[in-house]
Amino acid sequence: MDIAQAPPLSAPMDIAFDYTRSLGPVLGRFMTALRDRRVLGGRTSDGRVHVPPLEYDPHTHTPVTDLVEVGTAGTVASWSWMSRPLEGQPLEHPFAWALIRLDGADTALLHAVDAGGPGRMRTGMRVRIRWAGERIGHIRDIACFEPGEAPPGEPGERTAAPVTMVTTPIRLHYRHTTSAEEGRYLRALAEGRLLGQRCPVCRKVYVPPRVCPADGVPPDEEVAVADRGTVTTFCVVNVPFAGQRLEPPYVVAQVLLDGADIPLPHLIVGCPAAEVRMGMRVAAVWREPERWSTTPENIAHFAPTGEPDAPYESYADQL
C-alpha cells in the first residue's frame, strides 16, 4: 500500500506511574488520623471547619494549625449515581458519588456511597464511614460511606508513628489515532527509513512531522533524513525508578539528525555516560528487521560513530 494513501494508524496507549509526595504538618496529621479511624478538620480564622483540612487559611494566608476531630457520620449534601464504575474507583459495583458534610464540619467531603441502588440515595440522608480493613494513612482508608449512623461510642485509635508520605497510583488508558503526517512517519520506520516533513513557510524539516510551532501551518513536503546526527544537549540519568529499562547511569540526549531542523530525543548507548558530550556524532542502532513495526522502538538507541565532533555553530540554533 502507498504510504501516502494509507489509512490512519490507531493503537491503545497506557500511561502509568506512582505519584509520591510528602504531606507536611497538616495533611500528615489528617492522614495519620484516617489510619487511626479518626477524621480531622482544620479550623480557619472565620471559625469554619474544613474537611479535608486546608494547609493555608484562605482569608489570612497563614498556615492552618488548629485541627479538630469531627464525626465519622454525616449528611449527603448532593450526589450523582455512577452506574458503570471505572477502573481505580472506590467500588467495582454501581455506587453514588456524594458530597458529605461530616458532623462538626462546615464543608463537604467528596466520596463514594455504597447505597445499594439509586432509589436508596437522597439528599439529606445520613451516612457513615466504612473503614478499609487495612489502613496505611491514605484517603482510601475510607473504603466508602454507607447508609446509617456511626455506632455509639465507636473508638478511634491513637498511634505514635506519624504518616509523612503518601503514594497514589496514576493510570490513564486511551486510544491514539495518528495524523496523516505521523502515520507516514511511522510506516516509514517500519521500512527502516526516517522521514521528515518540511514547513512551507520557514522551510524547516521536522522529525517526527508536526504542525510548525513557529508558523502554525502543517508541513507539505516529505524529506528523507539520515539515521545519524549530532548530540545537541543531553541528560545523565543517575536515579533509579520503577520500570526502568537500563541500569543507571545512562544518557538521554537530543539528537539533531542530518537533514532535520529539530532534535529527536533518544538513548545514547555504546560508551560510558561520562564520555557523552555536546557535538558528539552518533548513529541509530536499529533492531532486527523482523522486529520492525510502526513504532519508534525500531531504533534501539544511538551510538557514537567515532567521527570528529560537529562544530558548535552547526547546531547552536537547535539547542
Q: Is the Cβ–Cβ distance between 206 and 225 less than 8 Å?
A: no
Q: So what's the pLDDT on residue 2?
A: 56
User: 131-136: long-range contacts at Cβ-Cβ below 8 A with a sequence spacing of 24 or more?
Assistant: 131/37, 135/34, 135/35, 135/36, 135/37, 136/35, 136/163
Q: Look up residue 161 and give its DSSP letter.
A: S
50 vs 119: CA distance, rounded Å: 30
Residues in the chain: 319
Q: So what's the pLDDT on residue 162?
A: 92
Q: Is the Cβ–Cβ distance between 107 and 100 less than 8 Å?
A: no
185: enclosing H helix or E strand: helix 180-189
Q: So what's the pLDDT on residue 150?
A: 86
9 vs 273: CA distance, rounded Å: 36
135 vs 33: CA distance, rounded Å: 10
Question: Model confidence over 80-113: pLDDT tens digits?
Answer: 999 999 988 999 999 999 999 999 999 999 999 9
Q: So what's the pLDDT on residue 169?
A: 87
Q: Is the Cβ–Cβ distance between 56 and 81 less than 8 Å?
A: no
Q: So what's the pLDDT on residue 180?
A: 86
Q: Look up residue 116 and give its DSSP letter.
A: S
Measured over the CA atoms of residue 76, residue 81, residue 82 and residue 83, the dihedral's sign is positive
- DSSP letters of 263-319? -EEEEE-SS-GGG--TT-EEEEEEPPGGG--SSGGGEEEEEE--PPPPPGGGTGGG-
Chain-centroid distance of CA 244 in Å reads 16
- Nearest alpha-carbon partner for 124 in 95, 151, 101: 101
Measured over the CA atoms of residue 68, residue 73, residue 78 and residue 80, the dihedral's sign is positive
Amino acid, single-letter form, for residue 21: R
Please report, to the nearest 10 degrees, the dihedral formed by the alpha carbons of residues 310, 208, 13, 170 taken in order.
50
Question: Model confidence over 243-254: pLDDT tens digits?
Answer: 788 899 999 999
On whether the pTM is more than 0.95, the answer is no
Question: Model confidence over 159-181: pLDDT tens digits?
Answer: 778 999 999 888 889 999 998 88
Residue tagged 449527603 (cell numbers): 76
Q: So what's the pLDDT on residue 5?
A: 66
- Whole-number Cα distances in Å, 263 to 98, 231, 241, 316: 48, 8, 26, 12
The yes-or-no verdict on residue 61 having pLDDT over 90 is: yes
Q: Look up residue 254 and give its DSSP letter.
A: E
Q: So what's the pLDDT on residue 145?
A: 98
Report the percent of the chain where pLDDT is more than 70: 97
Q: So what's the pLDDT on residue 181?
A: 87
Please report which confidence band the pLDDT of residue 231 belongs to, taking 50, 70 and 90 as the band edges: very high
The yes-or-no verdict on residue 142 having pLDDT over 80 is: yes
Residues β-bridged to residue 111: 98
Q: So what's the pLDDT on residue 154?
A: 64
- Listed by start position, the domains of the chain span 1-21+178-225, 24-163, 228-319
21: enclosing H helix or E strand: strand 10-22
- Tell me if residue 133 falls in helix, strand or coil: coil
Question: Model confidence over 196-223: pLDDT tens digits?
Answer: 999 999 999 999 998 888 889 988 899 9
